[in-house]
């Protein structure tokens, strides 16, 4: 038996339905599983889905609510990946190969390059890029150095002792230390897998240009429409495209993660994006898709702030065995006392390039740093910057939030 799988919270179910349909169209002899990451205990609402539903609670994770507190929705969805793969291998003893695909992927042909590699390997990965970049694309390589060599929107495994050992190794790291925290060298589940080809032996690197085409490798890949489907660089079949960062309701959107490539300057992608967005839109379900995530609020309705999550993570051992979402519990009382709870999460710019440098508050901060340089001198100012760099990591706030 062979299978594909993905992981979503309810708001991403239209993507999972689209992926599942595309995968099963080209692999009708396979199963397809979807893990629902939310505080949901009844599978009934998913009974009509084309895929087989697995609930987060089914994985049997220790201290699930603690895990859901210390990780945000992106982190939780990605970091339960090895646990999900382990669960499927345990629950289905006849399962021989298992392919994980991110929900925003679409499959255009049977994944023959992957299954060919799995005949003689236990693990298959795809690198973000397979061609050295030249100016003006060097920043793409720099970004990959930060987030990891291999894109974990895809991984394939063959049942074996080595795959089991890798999943166990990966699971421990994902459940303990896999924050979206690039300043400390961490990037959810993905960064850890950079180590996998060096630690484990039978790991294949799939460099096929038709596998995992996405915004991060568009500088090396062009799409054409062939007689029997899409072609990459006029020489390769397109097997799956990763629509990472797409906005389905924006007809002009390619991805929110870069402004370098747009549908205006990549006309070769217009057809594939138009059809994909229509499919996802048609796969919406007003009932299932609106199921609450459930781990973004305390039980009394108060929002869980990013700072509260990171301080919980820093002091997790002190609150083990207790539901951190319980308003009568020790963590909530601690968070209220330390003013970690209250108000709403910030919804404004989150990246440096989005910050308005003409904002008077930014100008005041810049003036304060300029004054600090004048008072401290270059050496002590550099020391201050190093301290602030460490202190700006939210988990480091435990230095004074005790």
The pLDDT assigned to 384 comes to 87
Please say whether the beta carbons of 182 and 147 come within 8 A.
Answer: yes
Say which residue the tokens 């996405």 belong to. 214
Helix axes 81-91, 161-176, angle to 10 degrees: 140
The pLDDT assigned to 351 comes to 61
Nearest to 91 by CA among 200, 203, 3, 193: 3
The pLDDT assigned to 395 comes to 85
45, exposed or middle or buried, with CB in 10 Å at 0-12, 13-18, 19+?
middle
pLDDT tens string 204-231: 999 999 999 999 999 999 999 977 889 9
SS3 state of residue 252: coil
Q: Which residues of the chain have pLDDT under 70?
A: 343-355
Please say whether the beta carbons of 57 and 66 come within 8 A.
Answer: no
Domains, the chain, ordered by start: 2-282 (3.90.550.10), 352-399 (no CATH)
The pLDDT assigned to 55 comes to 97
What pTM was computed for the model? Answer: 0.92
The pLDDT assigned to 266 comes to 95
Summary count for the chain: helices (H), strands (E): 13, 15
The pLDDT assigned to 203 comes to 98
The pLDDT assigned to 353 comes to 63
């Amino acid at each position: 038996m062979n299978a594909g799988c993905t992981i979503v919270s309810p708001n991403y179910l239209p993507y999972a339905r689209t992926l599942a349909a595309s995968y099963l169209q080209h692999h009708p002899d396979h199963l397809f599983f979807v893990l629902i990451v939310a505080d949901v205990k009844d599978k009934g609402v998913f009974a009509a889905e084309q895929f087989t539903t697995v609930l987060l609670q089914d994985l049997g994770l220790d201290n699930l609510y603690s895990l859901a507190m210390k990780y945000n929705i992106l982190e939780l969805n990605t970091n339960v990946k090895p646990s999900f793969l382990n669960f499927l291998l345990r629950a289905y003893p006849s399962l021989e190969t298992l392919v994980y695909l991110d929900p925003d992927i679409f499959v255009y042909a049977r994944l023959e390059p992957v299954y060919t590699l799995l005949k003689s390997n236990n693990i298959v990965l795809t690198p973000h890029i397979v061609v050295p970049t030249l100016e003006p694309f060097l920043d793409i390589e720099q970004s990959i150095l930060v987030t990891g060599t291999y894109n974990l929107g895809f991984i394939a495994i063959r049942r074996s002792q080595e795959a089991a050992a890798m999943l166990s190794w990966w699971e421990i790291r994902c459940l303990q230390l896999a924050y979206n925290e690039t300043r400390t060298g961490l990037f959810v589940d993905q960064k850890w897998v950079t180590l996998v080809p060096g630690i484990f032996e039978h790991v294949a690197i799939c460099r096929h240009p038709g596998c995992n085409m996405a915004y991060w490798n568009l500088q090396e890949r062009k799409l054409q429409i062939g007689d029997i489907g899409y072609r990459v660089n006029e020489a390769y079949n397109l097997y799956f495209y990763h629509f990472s960062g797409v906005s389905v309701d924006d007809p002009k959107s390619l991805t929110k993660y870069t402004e370098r490539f747009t549908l205006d300057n990549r006309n070769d992608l217009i057809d594939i994006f138009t059809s994909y967005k229509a499919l996802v839109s048609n796969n919406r379900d007003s009932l299932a898709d609106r199921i609450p995530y459930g781990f973004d609020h305390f039980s009394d309705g108060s929002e869980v702030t990013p700072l509260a999550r990171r301080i919980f993570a820093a002091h997790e051992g002190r609150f083990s065995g207790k539901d951190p979402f319980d308003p009568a519990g020790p963590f909530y009382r601690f968070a209220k006392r330390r003013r970690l709870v209250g108000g709403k999460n910030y919804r404004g710019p989150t990246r440096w390039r989005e910050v308005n440098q003409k904002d008077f508050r930014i100008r005041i901060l810049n003036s304060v740093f300029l004054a600090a340089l004048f008072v401290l001198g270059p050496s002590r100012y550099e020391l201050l910057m190093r301290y602030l760099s460490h202190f700006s990591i939210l988990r480091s706030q435990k230095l004074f939030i005790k």
